[in-house]
Structure 1
C-alpha cells in the first residue's frame, strides 16, 4: 500500500499496526529517520491542526518539508492537481500531503504516482488521518473497541470526519449512533439516529463535530443549537463516569459544546491534537517503509 486516501483501505490489522508504531514513537523510539527524503504539503483549504501536525511529524522523522497553498502553486494558472503532484514527484518529493475540496479526485491522481499520497481531507469525502488519531485516542481510554457505543453528533451532512470514523469504528466492533438536526441527516449512512439526551446517557464516546457554516446556505443560531443539539453542562453531568468527549476542532465554543467543557475532565480534545502528531508520524513511517 503506497497511499492513504480512505479508511476503507485499512484492515483492522493495519490499523493496529499503525497504533503499535505510534506507541513506540510515543515511548521515544525515533530509530527510523527519513533523512534525505522530502515531504510536500499542499493545502488548498484552511487548516491549523492538520497542517501544523503534519509539519511537526515530518520534521521529527527527519524529512525536509515544502509547504504550498493554492496561491503558491501553478494551480492558480490552470494546472491540474494531477500535474502539480507529478511535478512535485519529478523534483524529488517522496510523500505529498493534500487537502482540497473535490471528493474522490485523489483516487485518480494516485493511479500514476510513485510518491506516497496522503489525503488530509477532501471536501465532504474522507479524513483518514483524523480518524486514526480519534481511534488512537479512544484506544488509550478503553483499550478495545468491541462493544463500545460511540455517538457522532453534529453536522453529519458535511462531515468527512464522520464518514471516515463511522466506517472504521463499525469495522473495529463499536456500535455507532448519530445525533443531528433533521436537515443534516445523510441518507448514505445506515446507522441509528438518536437524540443528544439519549446519547449522553448511553454512549462511551461522544464525538462532536464542528458546524461547517462555510458549507451552509443558511446560518445556524449558535445559542439555539447548543440548547437543542449541543453538549451543555447539564447534559455532560448525565454522561457515564468513564465516558469521554472528542472533537476534531476547531471548536466553536458555546455552539457544539459549552465553553467550560472543552478542557473538562472528560474532554480529550487537546489530547487528540497531541496524538495527531504521533499518528501522522506512524503513517508516514509505515508508508515510506512499505509496511502498510
Structure 2
C-alpha cells in the first residue's frame, strides 16, 4: 500500500467519523482528536491487510543433501523457474523460500559437481511445505590420455641428491673476474661457502676436507689456488661436472661427505682450433 492510497484512506476515515459525529450531535470542536482516531483506524486497517496477505502466501524449506553419503551441501542454489525468487543453503545445508502465492512451481536445484534437478510442487494458500532434496554426484568421463616420452639411458637417469652442471652453464652464472667451477657449484641448493672470498665447498654441513674431488677419476687433494679464492679447474677445459650431495654410488667411497666428479674435454682429433683467455687462473 503506497503513501497516496494511505492518505486517501485516512481522509475517507476522517470524513466518515465527522459525518457520524454530526448525525449523533457530537460537536466537532476537537478536530485533533478526530485526526488521531483516523490515524489509529488506518493503522489497524493496514495491519489487518498485511496479516491477511501474509496468511495468503506459502513457503518452502528443507535440506539439500548428497544422495550417496547424506552429507548436507553448503551454498546449493535453488531458483523458482520463470522468476527471480530463490535461495541458497546455509552452512547447515538448510534453505527457505517465503512469500510464494498459491500456485504450481518448478524448482531448479543445482550444485557444482552434482546433477541438477527440476522439482515440481503445488502450494496452497498459507501452506508451509517441507521439501528435502538429494543430489547425485556427477561423474565426468574423459577420453583416453596417452603420455609418451623418450626413455633416458641408465647413465642419464637423475639420482636423488645428484646435480649436473655443464660448461655452458658455468659461463652464464655470475662470477668474480672470471668463470669458476667451485663458485658455480656454491649456487646450488645444499651448497654454501665459508665466505665471499673462499671457493671451498660446504655441502650439507660437511667441510671441504670431507668432500671427495675427482678429475677424470683421479683424486685432487688441493683443488684451489690464489689463497683459496679460486679453484684450480679451467672451465675451458672442463666437459662435465657432477655433484653427489649424498647417497653417492659405492664405487666412489673414501669420504664421509660428498663427491665432486669432474671430467676434462677429450679434444678434437679431426681438426685443430683453440681459444685465448687472460685471467688470474690462466696467467
Query: TM over 0.5: same fold?
Result: no
| Higher normalized helix content (fraction of residues) | 1
| TM-score of the two chains, using structure 1 as the length reference | 0.19
Of structures 1 and 2, the one scoring higher in RCO (CA 8 A, sep 6+) is 1
Taking structure 2 as the reference length, the TM-score comes to: 0.20
